[in-house]
């Protein structure tokens, strides 16, 4: 079907009726605001664009109480339309499809890579996908080139794949963050095994009804949700235009079966997991990081949000933006290396303005009790004044250990600070 084709008049009329009926449907009581939902699996592809106005789609998303929506479309124009109308909700993902028909052919079509490169040069995205990829096809040159592109841009992968293809993607890019669409349509036992093996694998529950019928959750899935409360997310999967009208109903259904889980687990699956995963890749509203010229604190500064950490040969001062680090919210770290109490050989305290040499600072954070780190690699910028690190995010409550490392040649000094996130 040519991409510009309009749907026949009766289809248009039906769509209009559905919009009217859906928008007129009674909404949940206002007494208590409904739990927000992050819908991790929406498409607004060319046939949907031709039959359902973008304003109406946004209306459905707001009616559903969506806090976030990961949207990908064949082609990308639909996603960009929705993003323009609702940058507060829509998080864009780039599909390797220009039209619906490419689902079964894209992984052998090298022109797909040209298309992805063109789009990536023009727009910002949080993810690549949803793409369909099974078994050994994951190692074909086109998917491998797509993974390399995602890696270069540090984008999440949204894979409609079997377990075998997911494993192959992780072999190509071990640090990848993969959202496993439809949890692979696999059994809860197999999904748990995959989540155990891959700490950076998440699963969306889109378009599968085996995990809950009505409000009742399948016992096998309940165990999976309780073992991995941080890794499941919900999604509608609007793979046909008609399913756009199901977004509010899907959100309501998700709230009803999630209500049978402990409140904290329900909130995570409903939206917090998506929020943590997407926040660093797509800061609130897609806006650029805070403006201004960020400067590390001076060596003389103390208090007022500036922390000082004494090392063996040097001292580190740092502050964060915002000063108070919040759960699931990205933050920036600004650090400077200062002369230590005793002057000795080792890490020099200032980048030599003449030679251009000096200590390089880097930062990482882990949760010692949970033996895991952050989901994101922070973006580091060095200057003669020190380090500016963007995109740090603590996705779990508890004790985090922040470690700034100063390295010059073989000399290394580590500065650690404990931060408790509630
Ligand atoms: Zn899918």
CATH code (residue 126): 3.20.20.140
Check whether the bond before 130 is cis (ω within 30° of 0): yes
Task: Quote the ligand 1 centre to 26 CA distance (angstroms).
Answer: 30
For residues 333 and 265, state if they share a domain: no
Domain encompassing residue 176 = 9-286
For residues 111 and 247, state if they share a domain: yes
pLDDT at site 179: 98
Q: What is the mean pLDDT of residues 248-274?
A: 96
Task: Quote the ligand 1 centre to 182 CA distance (angstroms).
Answer: 6
Min mean pLDDT across 2-6, 122-126, 294-298 is at 2-6
- Per-residue confidence at 284, pLDDT binned at 50, 70, 90? low
Q: What is the mean pLDDT of residues 188-199?
A: 97
For residues 93 and 184, state if they share a domain: yes
Under 8 Å between Cβ of 388 and 332: yes
For residues 322 and 399, state if they share a domain: yes
Task: Quote the ligand 1 centre to 241 CA distance (angstroms).
Answer: 14
pLDDT at site 293: 55
Q: What is the mean pLDDT of residues 279-301?
A: 66
Looking at 286, 318, 352, the residue that finishes a domain is 286
pLDDT at residue 214 tops 90:
no
Task: Quote the ligand 1 centre to 32 CA distance (angstroms).
Answer: 33
pLDDT at site 266: 97
Task: Quote the ligand 1 centre to 264 CA distance (angstroms).
Answer: 27
pLDDT at site 357: 41
Under 8 Å between Cβ of 80 and 51: no
Task: Quote the ligand 1 centre to 121 CA distance (angstroms).
Answer: 26
pLDDT at site 91: 97
Task: Quote the ligand 1 centre to 183 CA distance (angstroms).
Answer: 10
Task: Quote the ligand 1 centre to 266 CA distance (angstroms).
Answer: 23
Domain count for the chain = 2
- Is residue 298 a part of any domain in this protein? no
- Is residue 301 a part of any domain in this protein? no
Provide Rg for the chain, Cα atoms.
Answer: 24
For residues 65 and 165, state if they share a domain: yes
Q: Which residues are within 5 Å of ligand 1 (an ion), measured at CB?
A: 160, 181
Task: Quote the ligand 1 centre to 371 CA distance (angstroms).
Answer: 32
For residues 282 and 313, state if they share a domain: no
Task: Quote the ligand 1 centre to 254 CA distance (angstroms).
Answer: 18
- CA dist 221 and 217 (Å) reads 7
Tokens 């309501």 label which residue? 252
Q: What is the pLDDT of residues 87-101, one digit of tens each?
A: 989 999 999 999 888
Which helix (H) or strand (E) segment holds residue 120: the answer is: helix 111-122
For residues 352 and 210, state if they share a domain: no
pLDDT at residue 390 tops 70:
yes
- Is residue 294 a part of any domain in this protein? no
- Is residue 117 a part of any domain in this protein? yes
Looking at 286, 315, 343, the residue that finishes a domain is 286
For residues 77 and 203, state if they share a domain: yes
Instruction: Work out the mean pLDDT of the chain and round it to a whole number.
Output: 86
pLDDT at residue 150 tops 60:
yes
């Amino acid at each position: 079907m040519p991409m510009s084709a309009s749907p026949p008049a009766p289809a248009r009329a039906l769509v209009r009726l559905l919009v009217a009926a859906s928008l007129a449907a009674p909404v949940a009581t206002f007494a208590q605001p409904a739990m927000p939902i992050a819908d991790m699996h929406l498409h607004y592809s060319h046939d949907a664009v031709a039959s359902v106005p973008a304003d109406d789609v946004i209306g459905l998303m707001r009616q559903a109480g969506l806090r976030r929506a990961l949207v990908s479309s064949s082609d990308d124009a639909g996603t960009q339309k929705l993003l323009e109308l609702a940058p507060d909700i829509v998080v864009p993902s780039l599909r390797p499809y220009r039209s619906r028909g490419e689902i079964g052919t894209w992984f052998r079509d090298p022109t797909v890579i040209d298309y992805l490169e063109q789009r990536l040069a023009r727009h910002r995205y949080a993810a690549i996908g949803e793409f369909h990829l099974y078994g050994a096809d994951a190692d074909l040159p086109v998917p491998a080139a797509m993974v390399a592109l995602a890696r270069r841009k540090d984008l999440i992968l949204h894979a409609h794949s079997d377990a075998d293809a997911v494993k192959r993607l992780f072999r190509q890019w071990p640090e990848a963050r993969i959202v496993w669409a439809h949890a692979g349509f696999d059994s809860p036992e197999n999904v748990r095994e995959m989540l155990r093996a891959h700490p950076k694998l998440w699963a969306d529950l889109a378009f599968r009804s085996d995990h809950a019928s009505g409000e009742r959750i399948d016992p096998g899935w309940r165990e999976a949700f309780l073992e991995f409360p941080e890794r499941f997310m919900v999604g509608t999967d609007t793979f046909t235009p008609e399913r756009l009208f199901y977004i509010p109903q899907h959100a309501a259904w998700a709230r009803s079966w999630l209500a049978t889980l402990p409140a904290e687990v329900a909130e995570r699956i409903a939206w917090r997991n998506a929020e943590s995963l997407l926040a660093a890749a797509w800061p609130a509203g897609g806006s650029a990081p805070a403006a201004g010229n960020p400067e590390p604190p001076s060596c003389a500064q103390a208090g007022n949000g500036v922390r000082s950490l004494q090392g063996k040969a040097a001292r580190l001062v740092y502050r964060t933006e915002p000063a108070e680090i919040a759960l699931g919210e990205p933050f920036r770290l600004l650090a400077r290396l200062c002369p230590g109490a005793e002057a000795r050989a080792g890490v020099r305290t200032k980048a030599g303005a003449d030679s251009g040499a000096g200590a390089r600072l880097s930062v990482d954070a882990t949760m010692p009790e949970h033996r895991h780190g952050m989901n994101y690699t922070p973006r580091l910028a060095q200057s003669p004044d020190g380090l500016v690190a963007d995109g740090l995010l603590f996705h779990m409550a508890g004790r985090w250990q922040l470690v700034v490392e100063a390295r010059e040649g073989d000399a290394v000094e580590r500065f650690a600070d404990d931060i408790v996130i509630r």
